């Protein structure tokens, strides 16, 4: 039996957080009840992290260590590859370099193990064309957070200098969250549709090119990874004080033109609202959190 973590709505309800903060908490805790239980009511994200990083035995520190030790007792290579992906490397060649310059065969075997264990997702761009530009990501947001910010600095925390770790998290948080939250928001949208504006969509993914000259955060289509019909194209802007504006709309329209000549509907997912016309749909934290609630 596979027991999943708490979903973002359950995390928000348990910790009494507003929708936007509930998504942040879901990213950091992964919805793991043991970690959520350590979050004191009334604390914000930074108060929670300051408290937990001051304790070398904190669940947010040791849960990932125990999980990795259980999953890879005899395979250091799979663990090294997972660490490379968790540090932000997404392409095959970059992962190989970050993991110590391992061979193509070794990396293929390691990624197959990680995908089979559902620790890593191997994804292709979603579009009406074919692509071999496969990219990898850590599935569990908590493990992704740990691999980026905590795992490499465990010794620092054990020396009771979690304050240094916290400063590092604050410095990298906006960039890290912008990428890490995308799969969670796409899953939220998939659960929300149809909503009277956009249709039910069999496949929701994203699109990129080898050079990243075109990157589209959200694409809805009839199937993946090679679709016959696109239902919508969208952009994610998940910043505290920066709404989706005309500049973002122009960029989204430009990327749509690079992908298709069809007038595919445009949508925005924004943490701080929308200040532009020309979108067919827009969604904020409240809308997307509602998709996880069991009515």
What pLDDT digit, counting tens, does each position of 185-199 carry? 999 999 999 999 999
Gyration radius of the chain over CA positions: 19
What domain range includes position 210? 195-290
- Indicate left, alpha or beta for 273 from its phi (over 0: left) and psi (-120 to 50: alpha): left
What is the phi/psi pair of residue 268, to 5°? -130, 140
How many domains is the chain partitioned into structurally?
1
Domain assignment present for 137? no
What pLDDT digit, counting tens, does each position of 85-122 carry? 998 889 999 999 998 889 999 999 999 989 998 999 99
Domain assignment present for 45? no
What pLDDT digit, counting tens, does each position of 12-67 carry? 999 999 999 999 999 999 999 999 999 998 899 999 999 999 999 999 999 999 88
Determine the distance from the C-alpha atom of residue 128 to the mean position of all C-alpha atoms in its chain, rounded to a whole number.
24
Domain assignment present for 212? yes
Domain assignment present for 22? no
Domain assignment present for 286? yes
Say if CB 226 and CB 207 are below 8 A apart.
Answer: no
What is the full DSSP assignment across 53-81?
Answer: HT-TT-HHHHHHHHHHHHH-SS-HHHHHH
pTM score, whole prediction: 0.94
What would the mean pLDDT of 157-178 be, rounded to a whole number?
97
Domain assignment present for 172? no
């Amino acid at each position: 039996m596979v027991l999943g973590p708490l979903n973002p709505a359950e995390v928000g309800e348990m910790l009494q957080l507003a929708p936007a903060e509930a998504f942040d908490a879901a990213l950091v805790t992964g919805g793991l009840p043991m970690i959520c239980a350590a979050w004191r009511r009334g604390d914000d994200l930074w108060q929670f992290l300051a408290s937990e990083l001051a304790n070398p035995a904190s669940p947010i520190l040791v849960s990932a260590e125990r999980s990795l030790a259980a999953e890879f007792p005899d395979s250091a290579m799979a663990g090294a590859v997972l660490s490379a992906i968790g540090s932000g490397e997404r392409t095959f060649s970059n992962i190989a370099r970050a993991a110590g310059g391992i061979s193509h065969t070794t990396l293929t075997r390691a990624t197959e193990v990680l995908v089979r264990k559902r620790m890593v997702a191997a994804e292709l761009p979603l579009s009406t064309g074919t692509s071999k530009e496969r990219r990898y990501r850590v599935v569990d947001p908590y493990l992704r957070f740990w691999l980026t910010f905590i795992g490499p600095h465990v010794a620092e925390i054990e020396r009771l200098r979690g304050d240094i770790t916290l400063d590092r998290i604050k410095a990298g948080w906006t960039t890290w969250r912008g990428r890490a939250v995308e799969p969670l928001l796409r899953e939220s949208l998939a659960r929300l549709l149809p909503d009277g504006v956009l249709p039910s969509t069999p496949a929701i993914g994203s699109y990129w090119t080898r050079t990243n000259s075109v990157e589209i955060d959200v694409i809805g289509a009839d199937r993946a990874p090679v679709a016959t019909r696109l239902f919508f194209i969208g952009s994610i802007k998940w910043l505290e004080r920066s709404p989706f504006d005309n500049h973002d709309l122009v960029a989204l329209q430009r990327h749509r033109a690079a992908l298709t000549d069809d007038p595919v509907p445009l949508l925005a997912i924004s943490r701080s609202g929308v200040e532009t016309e020309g979108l067919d749909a827009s969604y904020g934290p409240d809308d997307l959190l509602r998709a996880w609630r069991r009515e």
